[in-house]
Amino acid sequence: MEDNIVISSRIRLARNLKNYKFPVYMTTEEANNVIAEVNYALNKERKNYDLIYMKELTDVQKNSLIENHLISPALAKKNDSGAFLLSPDKKISIMINEEDHIRIQTLGEGMSLKECWDLGNKVDDDLEEYVDYAFDKELGYVTSCPTNIGTGVRASVMLHLPALSITNQVEKFLYSISQLGIAVRGVYGEGTKSIGHLYQISNQGTLGASEETLIERITQIVMQIVEKERKTREHLKKNNYDELEDDFYRAYGLLTHARKMTTDEAMKLLSLIKLGGEMGITPMVIGKDIYKLMVKIQPNNISNLEGISMKERDKKRAEIIRNELLK
């Protein structure tokens, strides 16, 4: 059940170089020097990270990277000064000159914060062999945003919470969680909304606690949310089975027969059949990676993959969904 509710995990480490101003104050020449230093540090021995400049990408390509959680919306706006390094397996992305000089991001499936931390920490160590970080003995790593000062670690988890959403409990419950120093955000982070009943939660601050303590705290809170969602699903299945079955099969019928579909409608319906499969009510979707399909049908992923116009995206989205669900 935990793996069904916890979609993915991510660790981000914020770092800055000692002898440079923060990105917001840098010249284009200084930004390019930072990119060169970070690229050299990571590729000196392995030479397996791809360096990609934001100025070389189209808006569709940038937004597709955001939809795949490989870069942030903030980096996408840094057309003249931004870049990122991407590992071959796409589990590691090092964003350069976003809010900080370096944002090390590691991604994992399900509840895998510990594994993501181990991987990110190794990349951090590799970088530190060749670059000088801005570090204060009392405060820790110096960052452009005060909430990241200290360890510079953001641990976040993507959760699928349809049962709490259906029963109108999710906003109140997540608000109570936010009072514990936890940030609750939409699918693509700060300033974005939840779609498909997907939510990101992460730690608010990083000062005064070790990386391991922060990760353990987030893990414990995630387990509380998972348990609440699990119990709500059990209650719904026991008391509202007929209504659920009808909702799930209606959603499946639309998804497998519609010829045009918007992103919002598709995400809502895919969330329902994902829940139905996990509750054993819609067996025809068991074994299908519905979350992967959710990512695939995002607007810019469709345009980037298929090279089609905005006008044709709703039609192509419906076609992709039909093909995936009926094969």
pLDDT of residue 195: 87
pLDDT beyond 70 at 272: yes
Domain ranges across the chain? 2-230, 241-326
Angle at alpha carbon of residue 110, lines to 108 and 113, rounded to 5°: 55
Q: Name the percent of the chain lying above pLDDT 90.
A: 74
How many angstroms separate the CA atoms of 42 and 311, rounded? Answer: 41
pLDDT beyond 80 at 60: yes
Residue-averaged pLDDT of the chain: 91
Query: Which residue, 89, 18, 17, 19, is CA-closest to 48?
Result: 89
Segment among 33-47, 205-219, 306-320 with least mean pLDDT: 205-219
pLDDT of residue 82: 97
- pTM (2 decimals)? 0.89
Angle at alpha carbon of residue 286, lines to 285 and 291, rounded to 5°: 75
How many angstroms separate the CA atoms of 326 and 73, rounded? Answer: 34
How many angstroms separate the CA atoms of 167 and 271, rounded? Answer: 14
The average pLDDT across 79-97 equals 96
Helices (H) and strands (E) counted in the chain, each on its own, are 13, 10
Instruction: Tell me the pLDDT tens digit for each residue of 169-205.
Output: 888 888 887 777 788 876 655 556 778 999 999 887 6
Binned at pLDDT 50, 70 and 90, residue 3 comes out as low
Tokens 């994992």 correspond to 108
pLDDT beyond 80 at 207: no
Binned at pLDDT 50, 70 and 90, residue 120 comes out as very high
Q: Are 34 and 17 in contact (CB under 8 A)?
A: yes
pLDDT of residue 205: 66
CATH code matching the domain that covers 2-230, chosen among 3.90.1560.10, 3.30.590.10, 3.40.50.2300, 3.30.70.100: 3.30.590.10
Angle at alpha carbon of residue 49, lines to 45 and 51, rounded to 5°: 120
Instruction: Tell me the pLDDT tens digit for each residue of 237-270.
Output: 999 999 999 999 999 999 999 999 999 999 999 9
Instruction: Name every residue whose Cβ is closer than 8 Å to that of residue 53 and which is 6 or more positions away in sequence.
Output: 35, 82, 83
Q: Are 150 and 207 in contact (CB under 8 A)?
A: yes
Instruction: Name every residue whose Cβ is closer than 8 Å to that of residue 35 and which is 6 or more positions away in sequence.
Output: 51, 53, 83, 96, 97
In the chain, the N- to C-terminal Cα span, in Å, equals: 25
